[in-house]
Structure 1
């Protein structure tokens, strides 16, 4: 029988470990349910019991039975180095995905962030494990708790998100921050071109009209069907819609 009470966090010992290597471990078989790449990409390696935890103990779990009660995540990482500061040797994208992935697992299970367990906390005494390396599990759990509460895990996450990349419509790889900057610039440029300079009351060279209003006046004067001035457009849209006869106040403009 298998049920999930939490997540055990591991690192593989190398950045190059593949998801297939976790899914088809030569001795264990399925060595963890999830593989996490250095780029922050998860791969499902298998479902059901995975043989990731081994012997150990942790409050709330039966001794030597974490495999039957937890989901294992193997992060492809060298671990950093013993005694180094929190997150040493962990790429931002990978750490951020680790936090968010654990939160995404625990939330629907109805489990708190305290059910994020470092393999070193489970198997340190029994097996001498130190994974997930240079990750302070107390800080990690606090980050998970903040994500579960809808708050970014650390102050640096906003900057990390802006550095994430994607392919734009041209197929070019750009960062989110670059895209947001140009979107803001172009939207404001378009708004000013259509409405006039700030505060968008129209262009002096168009008689105080916006580009759209100026085109409407020109089109109406030329007798182009469907072109009406703003005053006429308002009249057409109101009394006529109520079933009455539309008249332009003060005569046609």
Structure 2
């Protein structure tokens, strides 16, 4: 899709027949379909519908490209119900393989769901919800369409999850990242602060430090603690000794 907010598709291939200009009612829901054909493009379904009395508003191709075949304000013949056609937008999803599974590519699932979400936003249909503003072709006629996209199929929940998530992004923006977990005081001390503290400790006591402090020159290359010990020894204070001689 070129623009999700303006609903500008990747390409137009508008039908010249097999649709009804205008709408007798407002848009109330999105109807999902699958092609039941393999790797069909927008041009392919346009050609098929030239000889078949059917159409849909959009085709989502295997690579995710979105083509528009009937304008949103016109009525496509896609749901086998004149009433439902009048109040819905039909989205066809290309199949990447044939029966029995009729697989659908990840790109088609993603872009089809996002298209539905953008349409829900554009026409004030609300957050995508299956059974209300998201419906399936098989609800209105005797068909298995949209097959693997329908409830119970392998793609239904993934398609719905993508539609809901993208609708939320379009309406409120992406969720901000979660704030970091609280940390203890020790955890918040950065490396430089830790290095500085070790240096000060080494300069006072002679403990091992990143800089391996040798002592102060004016104290005979001793730390203040060692110098104080030598002074106490010379004063004859009990328990004081020179750390270098251990006497």
TM-score, normalising length: structure 2:
0.48
Highest CA radius of gyration, 1 or 2? 2
TM-score, normalising length: structure 1:
0.47
Richer in helix (by share) = 1
